A and B are shown apart, each in its own frame.
Chain A
C-alpha cells in the first residue's frame, strides 16, 4: 500500500477495498516505525482517525473527492486548527493554531486526512534540516546524511513511504533541494498560485507553498487541491487553475528545453552532472529539442537572496514578542527586557543570524547599498529568465550541486551552505515555478534530482514533462531499502 500512487489509493477507497481508517492506521504505523528519522514533530492519532472516519462516511454516501480519505503530511508551518504548529522553533513550541491555513482548508474540503506535522528547519531557514529545535531529520537513503531543507521532514516522510504525499514551502529551494536529496518529486508553484493565508511567513516576496510526492502525477492531483484564488492572501493571484491531471498526457515531443551554460560549471559535482545530462538525453529521445541558454547574472542570486530574505524575515519575525502567543521568557525586569530575553531564548542561532543581517541591511545608511541594490539585481536576474524563455519552453539542470552530505558536515560554515543553493534561489527571486524529480544516484548511492523550471503559470506543462520522463524511467519508484 505504501508504494501505491494517489490514484491507486483513491481507487481502492472508492471501491471500498480499504477504508480511510485502515489506510490512515497503516501510514500512522509506518510513521511510528520510522520514528528514528525524526521526520514528524507532531502526530495526533485521534485527530487523524476522526478525519478518516468522516472520510469513510463521505465515501459511503457518494460525492467523494479523489483525495477523500487519503492521509497527507503537512510541513509544520501550515496552521491547522487545534494542531500544534511550531515552525520547528522553541518560540512556537506550544502554539496551537486557532485557525486553518487556506491550504489546510482546501485539503479538509477535499476530505483528505491530516497525517501529522513534519519537521523542518526553524522558520524554514536552512538547507539541511539541522536547524530544527526538535533535532535534525535523517535521510531515509542513509541515516548519516541530511535530507536537505527546509522541507526535510516532508521529503523524508515521502521518501520513506510514511506519507503518500506532503506539503512543503519553497523560499530559496526548500522543496526542490530536499526532493533532490531524498529522491522524491517536488513542486514549487509560481509565486501567487497557492494562497499563503495561514502559512507562517519567512520572506514574503519569495515564499510559496507547494508539495512533495512520489511522482509528477501525484503532484498534479495535490496541486489541483492547493491551487486557486484566496482573497485573504493579497499576493494570491485571481487566475483560474489549470487541469493539471488532464494535461499530463502531453508527452515531451516538440518541447524546447533550455540548458543554461552557467549550470554546468566547476561548482557542479560530476556525480550529479552525469545523471542530469543523461536525463536531458532521455528527453531528446522522447522528441524534445535542446537549446543552450544563458543566465548571466545567476552567480549573483545567493548574495541578493541573503540581503532580501533576511530583510523580509527580520520584519516578519518581529511579531514574536511573547505577548499574544508563543513562548515568553520566565524572568525579566521590564517590557524591553521581556522582548529581548523571549526572543533570545526562543530563536535558534540561524534565525538570529538572519534577523541581525536583515536588521543591518535595512538600517539607516545601509538601505541603498544593500536592500535597494539587491532589488535592482533581482530585476536583472528575472530579465535573464525572460530572455531565456524567449528561446525555450522549460529550463532544465541540477537542483543542487551535490548529493546529500553527512549530518554535521557543513553546519559550521554557513556561507558554504548558502552557496549550495545557487541553482534553486534564482527561481524564487524571479517568482517562477520549479520542480525537482529523481533522475539517478550519485556518490554513496544518494539520489540526484533534475530541476525543471517553467515560465510563470506553466505548472501543467512542467508536470507533463516530468510525467513523460517518469513514463520511461523508474527512478521515481526507487525506494530506500530500509523502507521498501
Chain B
C-alpha cells in the first residue's frame, strides 16, 4: 500500500504538483491498480527472458552524417517564452 508520503515522493519524481486532496484521491486509485497488478507475483517466470519489444530485431544503423537541418525559426514560434532565438526559463544559476 502506498502511503501519502510515497505518493508525494512519486509526484516529485514525476514533476507533478499534487494538492493534498488530489493526493488522497489518487492514493486509493493507485492502490487499487497495484492490487490488480499484484496478480503477476504468483506467476513462475524462472528462466523467461524479458520481452522489451514485440519485434526481435536489432536497431538499424545509418551512415554517420548530419541529417537534421536547422529549423529554429520554425520551432521557436510555438514555444511559451523565447527571446533572440533562445528558450526562456526561470533563472537557475545566480
Q: Give the CA-CA distance A338 to B30 in the complex, in Å.
A: 25
Which residues of the other chain, B, contact A160 by a CB distance below 8 angstroms?
none
Q: In the complex, A268→B53 CA distance in Å?
A: 30
Residue in B13, B55, B71, B90 whose beta carbon sits within 8 Å of that of A359 in the complex: B13
User: When the two chains form their complex, are residues A323 and B16 in contact, meaning their CB atoms are under 8 A apart?
Assistant: no
| B81 surroundings in chain A (CB, below 8 A) | 328
The verdict on A344 contacting B16 (CB below 8 Å), with A300-B39, A322-B80, A415-B33 known, is yes
Query: Bound complex: CA of A334 vs CA of B15, how far in Å?
Result: 13
Partner of B40, one of A307, A352, A357, A363: A307
Which residues of chain A are within 8 angstroms of B48 by Cβ–Cβ distance?
376-377, 379-380
Alpha-carbon gap, A372 to B38, bound state (A): 13
B49: Cβ under 8 A from any A Cβ: yes
Question: Which of A67-75, A229-237, A460-468 is the contact stretch?
Answer: A229-237
Contacts of B15 in A (CB 8 A): 318, 321, 336, 339-340, 343
Known contacts A322-B80, A418-B36: does B90 contact A335 (CB below 8 Å)?
yes
What 1/0 mask marks residues of chain A from 304 to 321 whose CB sits below 8 Å from any chain B CB? 101100000010001001
Chain B interface residue count: which class?
35 or more
Instruction: Among A237, A335, A344, point to the contact of B18 (Cβ < 8 A).
Output: A344
The answer on a CB contact under 8 Å between A300 and B79 is no
Which of chain A's residues 312-361 have a Cβ closer than 8 Å to chain B?
314, 318, 321-328, 332-341, 343-344, 347, 352-353, 355-357, 359-361
- Contact call B29/A303, Cβ cutoff below 8 A: no
B74 at the interface (CB under 8 A from A): yes
Interface size class of A (residues with CB under 8 A): 35 or more
Q: Is residue A98 contacting chain B, with contact meaning CB distance below 8 A? A: yes
- Shortest Cβ distance from A115 into chain B, in angstroms? 24
Q: How far is the CB of B58 from chain A (nearest CB, A)?
A: 11
In the complex, what residues of B have CB within 8 A of residue A344's CB? 16-18
How would residues 291 to 309 of chain A score, 1 for a CB under 8 Å from any chain B CB and 0 otherwise?
Answer: 0000001011011101100
The CA of A322 and the CA of B62, in the complex, are separated in Å by 32
**B residues in contact with A96, CB < 8 Å:** 78
Q: Mark A420-462, 1 if CB is under 8 A from B, else 0.
A: 0000000001110000000000000000000000000000000
Is B1 positioned at the interface, with any CB of A under 8 Å from its CB? Answer: no
Query: Is A419 on the interface with B (CB-CB < 8 A)?
Result: yes
Within 8 A of A (CB), among B15-53: 15-18, 26, 29-30, 32-41, 43, 45, 48-53
| Residues of B with C-beta under 8 A to A431 | 54-55
Whether the Cβ atoms of A314 and B29 lie closer than 8 Å is: no
A197 within 8 A of partner (CB): no
Q: What is the distance, in angstroms, from A127's C-beta to the closest C-beta of chain B?
A: 14
A50 at the interface (CB under 8 A from B): no
Nearest A residue (CB) for B79: A324
Q: Are A379 and B51 in contact (CB under 8 A)?
A: yes
Q: Is A95 located at the chain interface by the 8 A CB criterion?
A: yes
Contact A98 B90 (CB under 8 A): no
CA distance A353 to B10 in the complex (A): 11
**Nearest Cβ on chain A to B26's Cβ, whole angstroms:** 7
Per-residue B-contact encoding for A357-376, CB less than 8 Å = 1, 0 else: 10111010000011011111
A-B contact pairs, 18 of them (CB 8 A): A192-B54, A205-B54, A321-B15, A322-B80, A323-B89, A324-B78, A328-B81, A333-B90, A334-B90, A335-B92, A344-B17, A353-B33, A356-B11, A356-B16, A359-B13, A360-B34, A376-B49, A378-B50
Residues of A within 8 A of B (CB): 95-96, 98-99, 191-192, 205-206, 231, 234-235, 237-238, 297, 299-300, 302-304, 306-307, 314, 318, 321-328, 332-341, 343-344, 347, 352-353, 355-357, 359-361, 363, 369-370, 372-380, 382, 414-415, 418-419, 429-431
